[in-house]
Protein backbone atom coordinates (compact mmCIF):
# COMPACT_ATOMS: atom_id res chain seq x y z
CA UNK A 1 0.00 0.00 0.00
CA UNK A 2 0.99 3.63 -0.45
CA UNK A 3 0.35 5.62 2.71
CA UNK A 4 0.72 9.31 3.52
CA UNK A 5 1.82 10.26 7.05
CA UNK A 6 1.27 13.95 7.80
CA UNK A 7 3.46 15.08 10.67
CA UNK A 8 5.62 12.11 9.77
CA UNK A 9 8.83 13.65 11.13
CA UNK A 10 7.27 14.16 14.54
CA UNK A 11 7.29 11.96 17.62
CA UNK A 12 4.26 9.79 16.83
CA UNK A 13 4.41 10.22 13.06
CA UNK A 14 8.01 9.01 12.73
CA UNK A 15 7.34 5.94 14.86
CA UNK A 16 4.26 5.20 12.74
CA UNK A 17 6.17 5.72 9.47
CA UNK A 18 8.91 3.40 10.68
CA UNK A 19 6.41 0.64 11.47
CA UNK A 20 4.73 1.03 8.08
CA UNK A 21 8.10 0.63 6.33
CA UNK A 22 8.78 -2.50 8.41
CA UNK A 23 5.42 -3.85 7.28
CA UNK A 24 6.45 -3.46 3.64
CA UNK A 25 4.42 -0.40 2.64
CA UNK A 26 5.37 2.63 0.57
CA UNK A 27 5.39 5.70 2.81
CA UNK A 28 5.15 9.38 1.96
CA UNK A 29 6.22 11.55 4.90
CA UNK A 30 4.65 15.01 4.85
CA UNK A 31 5.98 17.50 7.40
CA UNK A 32 6.98 21.17 7.56
CA UNK A 33 9.62 20.42 10.24
CA UNK A 34 8.21 23.10 12.55
CA UNK A 35 7.79 20.56 15.32
CA UNK A 36 9.04 17.39 13.66
CA UNK A 37 12.77 16.84 13.23
CA UNK A 38 14.65 15.61 10.22
CA UNK A 39 16.84 13.40 12.41
CA UNK A 40 13.72 11.41 13.33
CA UNK A 41 13.39 10.22 9.73
CA UNK A 42 16.89 10.32 8.27
CA UNK A 43 17.21 6.55 8.63
CA UNK A 44 13.95 6.16 6.69
CA UNK A 45 14.73 8.57 3.85
CA UNK A 46 17.42 6.27 2.46
CA UNK A 47 14.79 3.57 1.94
CA UNK A 48 13.55 3.16 -1.65
CA UNK A 49 9.90 3.00 -0.53
CA UNK A 50 10.05 6.29 1.42
CA UNK A 51 9.62 9.81 0.04
CA UNK A 52 9.40 13.18 1.75
CA UNK A 53 7.33 16.30 1.09
CA UNK A 54 8.44 19.30 3.16
CA UNK A 55 5.38 21.46 3.69
CA UNK A 56 2.46 22.34 5.91
CA UNK A 57 -1.03 20.86 5.92
CA UNK A 58 -2.19 24.43 5.43
CA UNK A 59 -0.82 24.14 1.85
CA UNK A 60 -3.72 22.42 0.07
CA UNK A 61 -2.07 22.29 -3.37
CA UNK A 62 1.01 20.51 -2.00
CA UNK A 63 -1.17 18.11 -0.02
CA UNK A 64 -3.09 17.16 -3.16
CA UNK A 65 0.20 16.54 -4.98
CA UNK A 66 1.44 14.31 -2.17
CA UNK A 67 -1.82 12.36 -1.83
CA UNK A 68 -2.20 11.43 -5.50
CA UNK A 69 -2.42 7.65 -5.78
CA UNK A 70 -2.46 7.03 -2.01
CA UNK A 71 -4.33 4.13 -0.43
CA UNK A 72 -4.75 5.91 2.90
CA UNK A 73 -3.74 8.96 4.94
CA UNK A 74 -2.50 8.89 8.53
CA UNK A 75 -3.05 12.47 9.70
CA UNK A 76 -0.73 13.21 12.63
CA UNK A 77 0.25 16.83 11.89
CA UNK A 78 -0.97 19.28 14.54
CA UNK A 79 -0.16 21.96 17.04
CA UNK A 80 -0.25 19.36 19.79
CA UNK A 81 0.09 21.38 22.98
CA UNK A 82 -2.51 22.72 25.40
CA UNK A 83 -0.30 25.58 26.72
CA UNK A 84 0.77 26.58 23.22
CA UNK A 85 -2.88 26.67 22.10
CA UNK A 86 -3.78 28.89 25.06
CA UNK A 87 -0.93 31.23 24.10
CA UNK A 88 -1.81 31.22 20.38
CA UNK A 89 -5.32 29.98 19.55
CA UNK A 90 -5.25 31.44 16.03
CA UNK A 91 -2.24 29.35 15.02
CA UNK A 92 -3.83 26.28 16.60
CA UNK A 93 -7.04 26.80 14.64
CA UNK A 94 -5.16 27.33 11.36
CA UNK A 95 -3.16 24.11 11.65
CA UNK A 96 -5.57 21.83 13.50
CA UNK A 97 -8.90 22.86 12.00
CA UNK A 98 -8.08 24.28 8.56
CA UNK A 99 -5.23 21.79 8.16
CA UNK A 100 -7.47 18.82 8.96
CA UNK A 101 -10.10 20.12 6.56
CA UNK A 102 -7.39 20.34 3.87
CA UNK A 103 -6.36 16.73 4.52
CA UNK A 104 -9.95 15.55 4.24
CA UNK A 105 -10.47 17.56 1.05
CA UNK A 106 -7.25 16.19 -0.45
CA UNK A 107 -8.47 12.67 0.33
CA UNK A 108 -11.77 13.39 -1.39
CA UNK A 109 -10.14 15.04 -4.41
CA UNK A 110 -7.55 12.25 -4.84
CA UNK A 111 -9.93 9.37 -4.25
CA UNK A 112 -8.16 8.23 -1.08
CA UNK A 113 -10.63 5.90 0.66
CA UNK A 114 -9.56 6.26 4.31
CA UNK A 115 -8.18 8.88 6.68
CA UNK A 116 -7.03 7.81 10.15
CA UNK A 117 -6.41 10.94 12.21
CA UNK A 118 -5.00 11.84 15.60
CA UNK A 119 -7.45 13.29 18.10
CA UNK A 120 -7.14 13.78 21.85
CA UNK A 121 -8.52 12.86 25.25
CA UNK A 122 -8.49 16.59 26.05
CA UNK A 123 -11.90 16.72 24.36
CA UNK A 124 -13.45 15.21 27.49
CA UNK A 125 -12.31 18.08 29.69
CA UNK A 126 -12.88 17.70 33.42
CA UNK A 127 -16.01 15.56 33.33
CA UNK A 128 -15.86 13.74 36.70
CA UNK A 129 -17.11 10.43 35.26
CA UNK A 130 -14.44 7.72 34.77
CA UNK A 131 -13.47 5.95 32.65
CA UNK A 132 -14.01 8.19 29.63
CA UNK A 133 -16.17 6.65 26.92
CA UNK A 134 -16.60 7.95 23.41
CA UNK A 135 -20.33 8.65 23.85
CA UNK A 136 -19.74 11.21 26.62
CA UNK A 137 -20.57 14.83 25.89
CA UNK A 138 -17.41 16.78 25.00
CA UNK A 139 -16.18 19.50 27.34
CA UNK A 140 -13.02 21.05 25.85
CA UNK A 141 -11.10 23.37 28.17
CA UNK A 142 -8.50 24.68 25.70
CA UNK A 143 -8.26 25.87 22.10
CA UNK A 144 -6.29 22.67 21.40
CA UNK A 145 -9.16 20.47 22.58
CA UNK A 146 -11.74 22.58 20.73
CA UNK A 147 -9.71 22.39 17.51
CA UNK A 148 -9.45 18.61 17.72
CA UNK A 149 -13.19 18.31 18.33
CA UNK A 150 -13.84 20.43 15.24
CA UNK A 151 -11.63 18.06 13.25
CA UNK A 152 -13.68 15.08 14.42
CA UNK A 153 -16.88 16.80 13.32
CA UNK A 154 -15.40 17.52 9.91
CA UNK A 155 -14.40 13.87 9.66
CA UNK A 156 -17.94 12.73 10.34
CA UNK A 157 -19.31 15.14 7.73
CA UNK A 158 -16.83 13.98 5.08
CA UNK A 159 -17.74 10.36 5.77
CA UNK A 160 -21.43 11.11 5.32
CA UNK A 161 -21.21 13.52 2.38
CA UNK A 162 -18.22 12.30 0.37
CA UNK A 163 -17.76 8.66 1.34
CA UNK A 164 -14.28 9.07 2.84
CA UNK A 165 -13.99 6.59 5.71
CA UNK A 166 -12.67 8.54 8.68
CA UNK A 167 -11.30 7.23 11.96
CA UNK A 168 -10.32 9.66 14.72
CA UNK A 169 -8.19 8.19 17.50
CA UNK A 170 -8.44 9.99 20.82
CA UNK A 171 -4.92 9.58 22.16
CA UNK A 172 -4.49 9.81 25.88
CA UNK A 173 -0.94 10.36 27.19
CA UNK A 174 1.53 9.03 24.63
CA UNK A 175 5.18 8.52 25.50
CA UNK A 176 8.26 6.84 24.09
CA UNK A 177 11.43 7.26 22.01
CA UNK A 178 11.85 10.49 19.99
CA UNK A 179 9.55 12.55 22.20
CA UNK A 180 11.01 16.07 22.36
CA UNK A 181 11.82 17.25 25.90
CA UNK A 182 13.23 20.63 24.94
CA UNK A 183 10.12 22.70 24.33
CA UNK A 184 8.50 24.50 27.23
CA UNK A 185 5.35 22.70 26.06
CA UNK A 186 6.90 19.22 26.20
CA UNK A 187 4.96 16.31 27.70
CA UNK A 188 5.59 15.22 31.26
CA UNK A 189 7.53 11.95 30.76
CA UNK A 190 10.38 13.30 28.58
CA UNK A 191 10.59 16.34 30.85
CA UNK A 192 10.88 14.15 33.96
CA UNK A 193 13.44 11.83 32.35
CA UNK A 194 15.72 14.52 30.98
CA UNK A 195 15.73 16.50 34.22
CA UNK A 196 16.57 13.39 36.24
CA UNK A 197 19.35 12.44 33.80
CA UNK A 198 20.71 15.97 34.27
CA UNK A 199 20.61 15.38 38.07
CA UNK A 200 17.79 17.92 38.46
CA UNK A 201 14.46 17.72 40.24
CA UNK A 202 11.38 16.98 38.09
CA UNK A 203 8.91 19.87 37.88
CA UNK A 204 5.25 19.09 38.60
CA UNK A 205 2.50 21.62 37.85
CA UNK A 206 -0.06 21.27 40.65
CA UNK A 207 0.06 18.94 43.64
CA UNK A 208 1.12 15.87 41.64
CA UNK A 209 -1.98 13.91 42.54
CA UNK A 210 -3.51 14.54 39.11
CA UNK A 211 -3.67 11.32 37.12
CA UNK A 212 -2.89 10.35 33.53
CA UNK A 213 -3.55 7.29 31.36
CA UNK A 214 -0.26 6.63 29.58
CA UNK A 215 0.30 4.59 26.41
CA UNK A 216 3.50 3.75 24.55
CA UNK A 217 4.07 5.21 21.10
CA UNK A 218 4.57 1.69 19.71
CA UNK A 219 1.04 0.81 20.78
CA UNK A 220 -0.28 4.04 19.25
CA UNK A 221 1.41 3.23 15.93
CA UNK A 222 -0.13 -0.24 16.01
CA UNK A 223 -3.58 1.21 16.77
CA UNK A 224 -3.32 3.48 13.72
CA UNK A 225 -2.43 0.58 11.44
CA UNK A 226 -5.20 -1.64 12.83
CA UNK A 227 -7.70 1.18 12.28
CA UNK A 228 -6.49 1.69 8.69
CA UNK A 229 -6.67 -2.03 7.89
CA UNK A 230 -10.12 -2.46 9.45
CA UNK A 231 -13.47 -1.20 8.26
CA UNK A 232 -14.68 0.75 11.30
CA UNK A 233 -15.24 4.49 11.29
CA UNK A 234 -15.86 7.08 13.98
CA UNK A 235 -14.08 8.03 17.19
CA UNK A 236 -12.07 5.68 19.42
CA UNK A 237 -10.07 6.03 22.66
CA UNK A 238 -6.45 4.87 22.41
CA UNK A 239 -4.86 4.49 25.84
CA UNK A 240 -3.39 2.08 28.32
CA UNK A 241 -6.67 1.73 30.18
CA UNK A 242 -5.26 2.54 33.64
CA UNK A 243 -4.12 5.70 35.38
CA UNK A 244 -1.24 6.82 37.57
CA UNK A 245 -0.57 10.01 39.53
CA UNK A 246 2.31 12.24 38.48
CA UNK A 247 3.84 11.78 41.93
CA UNK A 248 3.85 8.00 41.45
CA UNK A 249 5.18 8.39 37.91
CA UNK A 250 8.07 10.50 39.20
CA UNK A 251 8.91 7.88 41.83
CA UNK A 252 8.94 5.06 39.23
CA UNK A 253 11.27 7.06 36.97
CA UNK A 254 13.56 7.74 39.90
CA UNK A 255 13.77 4.00 40.56
CA UNK A 256 14.46 3.25 36.87
CA UNK A 257 17.13 5.95 36.51
CA UNK A 258 18.60 5.42 39.96
CA UNK A 259 18.49 9.20 40.48
CA UNK A 260 16.34 10.45 43.37
CA UNK A 261 15.43 14.12 43.58
CA UNK A 262 12.52 15.75 45.40
CA UNK A 263 10.06 17.20 42.83
CA UNK A 264 9.59 20.95 42.47
CA UNK A 265 5.90 21.92 42.55
CA UNK A 266 4.68 24.84 40.45
CA UNK A 267 1.16 26.31 40.07
CA UNK A 268 -1.24 24.34 37.81
CA UNK A 269 -1.28 25.32 34.12
CA UNK A 270 -4.34 26.80 32.44
CA UNK A 271 -6.30 24.33 30.30
CA UNK A 272 -4.83 21.17 31.85
CA UNK A 273 -7.33 18.50 32.90
CA UNK A 274 -7.15 17.11 36.42
CA UNK A 275 -7.59 13.39 35.76
CA UNK A 276 -7.61 11.04 32.80
CA UNK A 277 -8.67 7.40 32.32
CA UNK A 278 -9.99 5.71 29.19
CA UNK A 279 -12.39 2.92 28.39
CA UNK A 280 -10.67 1.29 25.39
CA UNK A 281 -13.18 -1.49 24.75
CA UNK A 282 -14.67 0.18 21.69
CA UNK A 283 -11.34 0.12 19.82
CA UNK A 284 -10.89 -3.50 20.85
CA UNK A 285 -14.26 -4.49 19.47
CA UNK A 286 -13.96 -2.42 16.29
CA UNK A 287 -10.43 -3.29 15.12
CA UNK A 288 -8.82 -5.52 17.73
CA UNK A 289 -6.73 -2.97 19.59
CA UNK A 290 -5.33 -3.61 23.06
CA UNK A 291 -2.05 -2.30 24.48
CA UNK A 292 0.87 -4.74 24.49
CA UNK A 293 3.40 -2.73 26.49
CA UNK A 294 3.16 -2.26 30.26
CA UNK A 295 3.84 1.21 31.64
CA UNK A 296 7.04 0.18 33.41
CA UNK A 297 8.42 -1.68 30.39
CA UNK A 298 7.67 1.32 28.19
CA UNK A 299 9.31 3.69 30.68
CA UNK A 300 12.45 1.54 30.84
CA UNK A 301 12.70 1.54 27.03
CA UNK A 302 12.17 5.31 26.95
CA UNK A 303 14.80 6.01 29.61
CA UNK A 304 17.25 3.82 27.70
CA UNK A 305 16.57 5.74 24.48
CA UNK A 306 17.15 9.12 26.19
CA UNK A 307 20.36 7.84 27.74
CA UNK A 308 21.61 6.69 24.32
CA UNK A 309 20.55 9.99 22.72
CA UNK A 310 22.76 11.88 25.19
CA UNK A 311 25.91 10.00 24.13
C-alpha distances out from residue 223 to 31, 57, 238, 286, Å: 21, 23, 7, 11
Q: Which residues contact 302 (CB under 8 A, 6 or more apart)?
A: 175, 176, 177, 179, 189, 190, 193
Axis-axis angle for helices 188-197, 246-257 (nearest 10): 40
Q: Do 237 and 121 contact (CB within 8 A), yes or no?
A: yes
Q: Which residues contact 92 (CB under 8 A, 6 or more apart)?
A: 79, 84, 85, 143, 144, 147
CA gap 281, 284 in Å, rounded: 5
Q: What is the CA 75 to chain-centroid distance, rounded?
A: 10
> Which class for 29: exposed (0-12), middle (13-18), buried (19 or more C-beta within 10 A)?
buried
Strand partners, 141: none
CA gap 45, 63 in Å, rounded: 19
Question: Which among 303, 297, 148 is positioned nearest to 235, based on CA atoms?
Answer: 148
Question: Which among 208, 230, 74, 94 is positioned nearest to 150, based on CA atoms?
Answer: 94
- 124 catalytic? Reply is no
CB atoms within 10 A of CB 300: 15
Q: Which of 3, 144, 154, 185 is catalytic?
A: 144
Active site (catalytic) residues: 144
Amino acid sequence: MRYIVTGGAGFIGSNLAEQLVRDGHEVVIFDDLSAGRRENIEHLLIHPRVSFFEGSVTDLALLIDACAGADGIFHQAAVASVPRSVANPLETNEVNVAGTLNVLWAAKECGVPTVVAASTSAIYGDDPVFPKIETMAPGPLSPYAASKLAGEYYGSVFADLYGVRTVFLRYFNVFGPRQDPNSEYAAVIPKFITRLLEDKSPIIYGDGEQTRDFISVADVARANILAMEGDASGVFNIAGGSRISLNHLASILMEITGIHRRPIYEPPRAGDVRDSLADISRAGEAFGFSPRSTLEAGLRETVAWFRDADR
